[in-house]
Amino acid sequence: MAPRVPPSAGSPVPGGRLSRLARLGGMAAGVAGGMLAEGAGRLARGERPRLEDLLMTPTNVLRVTGQLANLRGAAMKMGQLISMEAGDILPPELAAIMARLRADAEPMPRAQVQSVLDRAWGPGWLERFERFSFHPIAAASIGQVHRARTHDGRDLAIKIQYPGVRRAIDSDVDNVATLLRLSGLVPRHLDVGPLLREAKRQLHEEADYEREADCLERFAALLAEDPDFRVPAVHRDLTGRDVLAMDYCDSVPIETLERMPQDERDRVAARLVDLALRELFVFRLMQTDPNLANYRYEPQTGRIVLLDFGATRAFSAGFVEPCRALAVAGLADDRAGVAAALTRMGLVDERLPQRHRDRILAMFDLAKAPLLGSDLFDFGDAAILRRLREAGLEFADEREFWRLPPTDALFLQRKVGGTYLLAARLKARVDVKALAARYVPPRVDAGDEAPLA
């Protein structure tokens, strides 16, 4: 979910393949025109610009992100992922423009909301509610959320999928991938086919609200005895593939904790770090979209509200156990064990030159040194993140050796990185070493929870 949206009449979501293709075609034409104008200007100044330099101008990126935000769905979702995952690689001015895709999507107008719910619930559905707000309380890439109250007193948050999103996933992903290729952000030698197939599969799962309802109920059961978390209950009588009805949780954005005392910020961050560890090592089931908007806070109870389980991913024991071995080796400061675990995870292999393998190990050493050096890890220490970013940028400069890690590792990295950034936002101090030690060496209950099929 995304933050609350300001009042707006909204704009219709292009639902048909032809209309979406036309929007992307218009965007491509506009980008091409911008490239010609920019190239002419640079040539007049005696410069010899590269193709990717012409494409990735602020004006063109603004044009691309604006169209992706208007299309919503997989196109916007891909843009969000690019801005989140590549934000530290893009030039600052372009990263700032791409970041607009993390903000609210333009909501659907009332007539389109009415049409979607007519199909989902049948004509006359409004009579089932004491009140229903047509203005959404949140709008994101795949759907928007409305608050409603039924005649039997249920206070609900109802997520409604944008029309045409599911049908457009495959073509949207392919079109965005083409833009990435043209931009030069992706080296030509890199085979992104497996990643694109996985992106399509993941997005089809996210667009299935019945599956998300299953994941919500699964996490609610897993965390039922944990007093620090709340997962909204699902209301099956109003839930279908395109509509998800759940409890409305009276809460505030998690980032409002920035104004809370240090002890409370530390507690919340520690619980989120511990949750990520449990998801990996105990549940083997992880919500892999650690967007700030997917975490909220109940001031009255101190509970953390968990939202948006569309990106839930099950991990096999064959992936989790090398992760556990990596944690064991890292905590023991065993460099050879770390190298062996990274190899088992598919992050390092003999195809990489030795100097690149050494650099990966050096980056891991850089990350774990402050964890092992003190009982409390200071997420607010910007110097740590800056050193990691600089090391990553140096590695990224050698594009000829780029290779895609296994998909499970990419989703895990997304979760770890997002959790880190959230804790950094709260300037929390957490004994991460003690938390990790709870889950290594292997626990008896680590395989008790069967992954979601």
Label residue 283 by pLDDT band (50, 70, 90). Answer: very high
- What is the rounded average pLDDT of the residues 48-76? 51
224-231: average pLDDT: 97
Q: Residue 94: which pLDDT band, with cuts at 50, 70 and 90?
A: very low
The answer to which of 95-104, 133-142, 210-219, 338-347 has the lowest mean pLDDT is: 95-104
Check residues 165 and 24 and name the one with the higher pLDDT.
Answer: 165
Per-residue pLDDT band at 254 (split at 50, 70, 90)? very high
Q: What is the share, in percent, of the chain residues with pLDDT greater than 90?
A: 40
**Given pLDDT bands bounded at 50, 70 and 90, which one contains residue 230?**
very high
Listed residue (94, 102, 435) closest to 280, CA to CA: 435
Containing 301, the helix (H) or strand (E) segment is none
Rounded-to-integer distance, Cα 282 and Cα 267, Å: 21
Among the ranges 199-203, 296-300, 357-361, 378-382, which has the highest mean pLDDT value? Answer: 296-300
Task: Check residues 131 and 343 and name the one with the higher pLDDT.
Answer: 131
Lowest mean pLDDT among 102-116, 133-147, 272-286: 102-116
Question: Which residues are identified as catalytic?
Answer: 289
Output the six-digit token pair for 303.
Answer: 């509970």
Predicted local confidence at residue 49, as pLDDT: 44
Strand-strand pairing, 243-247 and 155-161: antiparallel
Residue 139 near residue 8, CB atoms below 8 Å: no
At 36, the pLDDT band (50, 70, 90 cuts) reads very low
pLDDT for the residue 229: 98
Mean pLDDT of 24-48: 45
pLDDT for the residue numbered 446? 43
Please indicate whether residue 16 or residue 229 has the higher confidence score (pLDDT).
229
Q: Residue 436 — very low, low, confident or very high, per pLDDT cuts 50/70/90?
A: very high
Specify the pLDDT at position 357.
Answer: 78
| Of 74-83, 265-274, 358-367, 374-383, minimum mean pLDDT range | 74-83
Nearest-CA neighbor of 81 among 237, 231, 185, 235? 185
The residue type of 87 is G
DSSP symbols for 394-406:
HHHH-GGG--PPP
111-127 pLDDT, tens digit per residue, is 999 999 999 999 999 99
Residue 398 is predicted with a pLDDT of 60
What's the CA gap between 361 and 335, in Å, rounded?
8
User: What confidence tens digit (pLDDT) does each residue in 158-185 have?
Assistant: 999 988 888 888 877 777 677 666 655 5
Q: How many residues does the chain have?
A: 453
Residue 54 above 60 pLDDT?
no
Residue 135 confidence class, pLDDT cut points 50, 70, 90 = very high
- Tokens 């039922």 -> residue: 224
Look up residue 280 and give its amino acid: L
Mean pLDDT of 236-249: 96
Q: Check residues 414 and 274 and name the one with the higher pLDDT.
A: 274
Range of 310-324, 336-350, 355-369 with top mean pLDDT? 310-324
pLDDT for the residue numbered 81:
52
pLDDT digits (tens, 9 = 90+) for 353-386: 777 778 788 888 888 888 888 889 999 888 877 7
Q: Is the pLDDT of residue 329 over 80?
A: yes
- Mean pLDDT, range 86-102, rounded to an integer: 46
User: Does residue 395 register a pLDDT over 60?
Assistant: yes
Q: Which residues contact 303 (CB under 8 A, 6 or more apart)?
A: 227, 228, 229, 230, 297
One-letter amino acid of 362: A
Mean of all residue pLDDT scores within the chain: 77
Reply yes or no on whether the pLDDT at 390 is more than 60: yes
**Which residue would you say has higher pLDDT here, 78 or 317?**
317
- Closest-CA residue to 285 (of 438, 412, 442): 412
pTM (two decimals): 0.77
